[in-house]
Structure 1
């Protein structure tokens, strides 16, 4: 085992905030939320989404940081430190392993999308994308996705980048790289938003993003808002627990959580507005599938000077999210094996790269190999996004809200002096016990298809 004193710590709270924002801002902010806003009543969906962030996202996010700060342990180790004297402690510890497994499986699937993103970044900069029509852009993407030989090169480059980052540790690798990526993403997004504000289509686009249409929301829109609020913060992947474990034990977790949630929401809204300007007036439309990002943007941005910047932004976001997902896996391997950081990173990276290659082949030579209609990539996404993620988040919520001793949580809460008032803790704990848990049950049920079953029964 690595000695406690040798384990790393963030150099400052602002750098933790920057790295965490870079990790949680994903392609979902660039693609899925703008699509949901356009499909479910814009401002009406946004109101439900913000309510979900405050009632479910904030308590669970800050709770994970509260448990993890000062421990410098891996995800199962953090949970073990809190559950040693509780009933069924092994069950709770295994939920930590489940979270890291989910992060690993999601990264293996995400590596395929990230490889596409890196390739499209270069093609966008060099003007190699066919934006003549949606059909042409779709055909180009399908041809590229099925070219396993070329895809392997991009996937290996992607893993080489995240392995090189993680191998240097927290202070010399993850922290400076995430800070650099966050700065580059900020510059790219700021340039795009400013150019969108100066565009003649800015007024209609602003109305399309923020005007509330409650008639278009519906029950499905409500559930999608809850689901998006959960996944936009990586709450079921162990990333927050892992990053939080490197914080000092007196860190004000609620204040940092509010800051991260606010910036994440602002980035999402900026992306939605920018895409409404550039995509809204084109023949292309965003769709629910991730492939629409690679089929829609070349058409919507054809001939625009903003096109290279958008595709570079897509590549940067892919890298930063992947580094965040990779860290809990490396941390677990290192602390459970006693290997050096370099050796742990190589072992974890090679294992995930092999799984990512298999997922990539499911679009190439293995595209006809399916089980119940899903290829390997589909099963990885299904298992993580629709089962492991929501289940892990629910288990952590139950642990903090129902299992752990209230007195111990109060002591941890008061360790940072600004939270000495009992009212703040009572509100936070009440949110975990009731609204957050109820929302997470709904998220899990929706992810498992409960709403589709209800619609089949009541609306045959």
Structure 2
């Protein structure tokens, strides 16, 4: 049973450290790996514009709602929902929204750890010269060789999880805060360097035209669904970690401008990632619409023939590894806080969490090799070819995150009294900004999320796997 007893957690030492940690939570593989290839497959600039709208009018209000719930509750997500529901005279069943979000976060962490391992593996490939002289064929073979080996995938996953454990086991101030305070500036510096390098030596004109010139002929209903789903995945709403980070937030920090900075920085990184990638791709005459393989297959080939391709590849994949680490740390911290809530020592919780993530992560590892022909829901036409990884990815991204976000929106908009949310946001109820947020979080945001869930369930003609 979820307890309502206060948990002994730390707090961010300053607004800056909170910003760096929360931006680190939001900025991850969704920005540097997922955003570029989604833009590549959905018409470039048109997708970017739709994505920006989704972030501004859907994701940002939810970030604010989750921070409000987290800081006012002061506990882990499910416990905060329960505490606030009782305070507002609402049903305790609202805590299930937090439970679903926590479950989604844990499931995401299981495959996120595997993909995080890919970034470390590719950093090693670049450093050891294995990416010199790659062609599309040999780059594909390198990636396929990694995926075909359960031992290699498991090793790199374990190394990535160990890095997270060593950070989170030290606590909020000494671990998470210090790590993100160092890693986030490094990430931005590396990304800025790659953007400048790409614009100088790559095909900047075609790359920028592709990224920023809208091609509305390629826009379909699926484009809007993908843009909204990417906004959710990218800014990390609906997976409970934002609520937890809000619980660590001092009352002196204003939520609205802070949330806007987080959403803005997250969006900036996604766009900069596109600037850092597409000029290289076009310079070598390669296809920007290359799906998930854009970063791991097409980009290494695009760097060939340029000055110091292995060094640039190493910088890029270290950047990707840092982005993955700062996001994964938040998921570990969520589990650590849950353990503390139950009176468990942080060290024990963190190590057990790592072991559980590794165990569940093996389903993703084997989905690329030994179990690639196993389709658990093969009797369902839409999932006929879906592996364990495909199913975990689909259910968490399309249902887990969206249900978690929908719960936060409905709870903040309809369950919490305006006096409560306005007080937490630090403005009067009559403030124009508050009134706009209240309208968005009550009507357009929930309706949009419901449409997203319906679109995922209906499939819009797509199959999974």
- TM-score, normalised to structure 2's length? 0.90
**Aligned equivalents of 2:220, 2:52: Cα separation in 1:** 17
**Aligned equivalents of 1:12, 1:316: Cα separation in 2:** 22
**Aligned equivalents of 2:291, 2:88: Cα separation in 1:** 43
Rate the CA distance shift 1:219–1:234 in 2: closer, same or farther, 3 A.
same
**Aligned equivalents of 1:338, 1:11: Cα separation in 2:** 24
Rate the CA distance shift 1:410–1:321 in 2: closer, same or farther, 3 A.
closer
Moved more, 101-110 or 420-429: 420-429
Rate the CA distance shift 1:289–1:199 in 2: closer, same or farther, 3 A.
closer
Q: Structure 1 residue 379 and structure 2 residue 384: aligned?
A: no
* Partner in structure 2 of residue 446 of structure 1: 455
User: What residue ranges of structure 1 are gaps of 5+ in the alignment?
Assistant: 454-460
Rate the CA distance shift 1:431–1:297 in 2: closer, same or farther, 3 A.
same
Residue 323 (structure 1) shift: 1.0
Rate the CA distance shift 1:311–1:266 in 2: closer, same or farther, 3 A.
same
**Aligned equivalents of 1:393, 1:25: Cα separation in 2:** 18
Contact 1:8–1:72 under 8 Å retained in 2: no
Rate the CA distance shift 1:449–1:326 in 2: closer, same or farther, 3 A.
farther
Rate the CA distance shift 1:451–1:5 in 2: closer, same or farther, 3 A.
closer
* Partner in structure 1 of residue 225 of structure 2: 223
* Partner in structure 2 of residue 42 of structure 1: 44
**Aligned equivalents of 1:271, 1:27: Cα separation in 2:** 11
Q: Structure 1 residue 361 and structure 2 residue 366: aligned?
A: yes
Question: CA-to-partner distance for each residue in 1:195-224, whole Å, 9 max, x for gaps?
Answer: 123236222222221112222223222222
Rate the CA distance shift 1:120–1:219 in 2: closer, same or farther, 3 A.
same
Rate the CA distance shift 1:131–1:380 in 2: closer, same or farther, 3 A.
farther
Within 5 Å, which residues of 2 pair with 1:110-125?
110-125=112-127
| Aligned partner (choices 303, 308, 315) of residue 309 of structure 1 | 315
* Partner in structure 1 of residue 278 of structure 2: 276
| Aligned partner (choices 45, 55, 58) of residue 57 of structure 2 | 55
Residue 322 (structure 1) shift: 1.2
**Aligned equivalents of 1:120, 1:2: Cα separation in 2:** 44
Residue 31 (structure 1) shift: 2.8
Moved more, 108-117 or 80-89: 80-89
* Partner in structure 2 of residue 334 of structure 1: 340
Question: CA-to-partner distance for each residue in 1:379-419, whole Å, 9 max, x for gaps?
Answer: 22122112111111112211122232233323333xx3x56
Q: Structure 1 residue 408 and structure 2 residue 420: aligned?
A: yes
Rate the CA distance shift 1:99–1:298 in 2: closer, same or farther, 3 A.
same
Q: Structure 1 residue 321 and structure 2 residue 294: aligned?
A: no
Question: CA-to-partner distance for each residue in 1:143-185, whole Å, 9 max, x for gaps?
Answer: 2112112222211111111111111000000111112221221
Contact 1:130–1:299 under 8 Å retained in 2: no
For the residue of structure 2 that corresponds to 1:149, the secondary structure is helix
User: What residue ranges of structure 2 are gaps of 5+ in the alignment?
Assistant: 379-384
| Aligned partner (choices 185, 188, 192) of residue 186 of structure 1 | 188
Alignment length, in residue pairs? Answer: 450
* Partner in structure 1 of residue 410 of structure 2: 398
- TM-score, normalised to structure 1's length? 0.91
Q: Structure 1 residue 348 and structure 2 residue 350: aligned?
A: no
Contact 1:131–1:301 under 8 Å retained in 2: no
Contact 1:130–1:140 under 8 Å retained in 2: no
